[in-house]
Amino acid sequence: MHHVQKERITTLNQAAHGTGPVIYWMSRDQRVSDNWALLHAQQLAVERRVPLAVVFTLSPAFLGATLRQYAFMLRGLADTARSLRELEIPLFLLRGAPVAEIASFVSKHRAGTLVTDFDPLRIKAGWRKHVARELNIAVHEVDAHNIVPCHHLSQKQEYGAYTLRPKLLKLLAEFLTDFPPIIRHPFAWPDPPEPFEPLSVIGELPVDRSVAEIALPPGAAAAKNRLLSFIENGLGQYNTLRNDPCCDGQSGLSPYLHFGQLAPQRAALAAAGVPKAEEFLEELIIRRELSDNFCCYNNSYDQVAGFPAWARKSLDLHRSDPRAYCYSPEQFEAGVTHDPLWNAAQHEMVITGRMHGYLRMYWAKKILEWSPSAEDAMKVAIALNDRYQLDGRDPNGYTGIAWSIGGVHDRAWGERPIFGKIRYMSNAGCKRKFDVASYIARIERL
């Protein structure tokens, strides 16, 4: 069997491997193919000649997620469960507090090793550490999301893309390799569960149903189709169209990457060598891994305390500057500001679960301009992003908001009211970039 690179694997406790089955606690990487964590778990199970199972813990109140995100995730997971079943690997869907559920499952099945995937978010890191302390078997964390594993790439928070890029490019050839296949598991699980039906699970979940599902097809097959379609039809124009919200110039891959239905490494392998792919690969590899680095090494990634010192000082100096407009969280959510462009971007997110990348920056910066403080702006931007975006609660989202409001990974710009030295964006600047009236008209037709 293929051995997963040791740099991807972090041992979370000092316990020894037991003799029982191997359990893969799937969390961030919700797919069968192209999954280093699942490959590592299977390698351990085959070497020890034991069964392998996948467990997924469904936490019903996860960071304010709504029906929109849960339904997309569960429909994708049902596909993953079917693919696993064909390989003699069961998927158990557990409901409740993740730490207690995992500890109970491991104990009940006398598991020998627990493998899980890497996620830099505080809540997930906390769960993994707690589980590793509770269990008396070895717990391995495998970075199945980043091409160059986050902990191996850098051991500290990087200042920006300019400091991360040379480190990453030096290591890229070593890690940007193709994936071996998951094989049909030779040691069957004695009592596999019945496949779960996503509709019935969704029906039982106590989640906020006021944010509706969207029509985007979920799952690994849909992710692969979207990737191939983008490479064939969109990648050639990505450099010129990606910053124009009037064009369908973006990849549309972020929900699939967020839910782990597509490996970023698979997308990079597909795009590498294609003419004019540089800008896409910069976003997919450098910027995305920079976001993981920020959230991994800065525990205040979603707070003003996480901003660089120059930005905090500058925002403080302008804390009492008069605001020409000041909106409540409810007004922001309803999209009833004085700015038709901002309102249109907010409506697009509420209706479709996505917002164009260029407008995400403008949207967040205006929340700063029209809020009583940077602290208020962070709360509003994160709450709206995580409630409506299909790819909410993601390191990319938190880092993008921290860049927009707090200058993270940016430099100091010219001083101005409210913003201080934080980079400013204006409606007039947007009008120079793209046809604002045409964009607003398109959103009004949704």
**CATH number of the CATH domain containing 259:** 1.25.40.80
Rounded Cα distance between 442 and 446, Å, is 7
Say how far residue 174 (Cα) sits from the centre of its chain. Answer: 24
Same domain, 10 and 40: yes
Q: How many CB atoms lie within 10 A of CB 190?
A: 9
Asked if the structure places residue 437 within a domain, the reply is: yes
Same domain, 166 and 265: yes
Q: 103-112, 123-132, 198-207, 424-433: which range is least confident on average?
A: 198-207
Asked if the structure places residue 187 within a domain, the reply is: no
Same domain, 291 and 373: no
Could you give the number of structural domains in the chain? 3
From the list 53, 41, 36, the residue with the least C-alpha distance to 17 is 41
Same domain, 439 and 307: yes
Rounded Cα distance between 152 and 171, Å, is 10
Same domain, 395 and 424: yes
Q: How far is CA 227 from CA 77, 145, 166, 231, in A?
A: 19, 16, 27, 6
Asked if the structure places residue 194 within a domain, the reply is: no
Same domain, 12 and 108: yes
Asked if the structure places residue 206 within a domain, the reply is: no
Rounded Cα distance between 101 and 96, Å, is 7
pLDDT the model gives residue 275: 93
pLDDT the model gives residue 414: 97
Dump pLDDT digits (tens) for 245-268.
999 899 999 999 999 999 999 999
Asked if the structure places residue 201 within a domain, the reply is: no
pLDDT the model gives residue 156: 98
CATH value at residue 120:
3.40.50.620
Q: Domain span at residue 276?
A: 149-179+215-297
Give the mean pLDDT of 58-72.
86
Q: Which two structure tokens, joined as six digits, stand for 315?
A: 């925002």
Q: Which two structure tokens, joined as six digits, stand for 228?
A: 């191939």
Query: Does the global pTM surpass 0.75?
Result: yes
Asked if the structure places residue 1 within a domain, the reply is: no
pLDDT the model gives residue 248: 84
Residue 67: pLDDT above 90?
yes
Asked if the structure places residue 198 within a domain, the reply is: no
Asked if the structure places residue 190 within a domain, the reply is: no
Domain boundary among 297, 321, 356: 297
Domain boundary among 297, 320, 351: 297
Q: Name the average pLDDT for the chain.
A: 96
Same domain, 280 and 357: no
Same domain, 289 and 314: no
Domain boundary among 231, 263, 297: 297
Same domain, 38 and 135: yes
pLDDT the model gives residue 206: 87
Same domain, 333 and 433: yes
Percentage of the chain exceeding pLDDT 90: 95
Question: What band does 381 get if pLDDT is binned at 50, 70 and 90?
Answer: very high
Dump pLDDT digits (tens) for 97-148.
999 999 999 999 999 999 999 999 999 999 999 999 999 999 999 999 999 9
Q: DSSP letters along 218-264, please?
A: PSHHHHHHHHHHHHHHTGGGHHHHTT-TTS--S---HHHHHTTSS-H
Same domain, 32 and 57: yes
Return the SS3 of 39: helix
Same domain, 278 and 361: no
CATH value at residue 384:
1.10.579.10
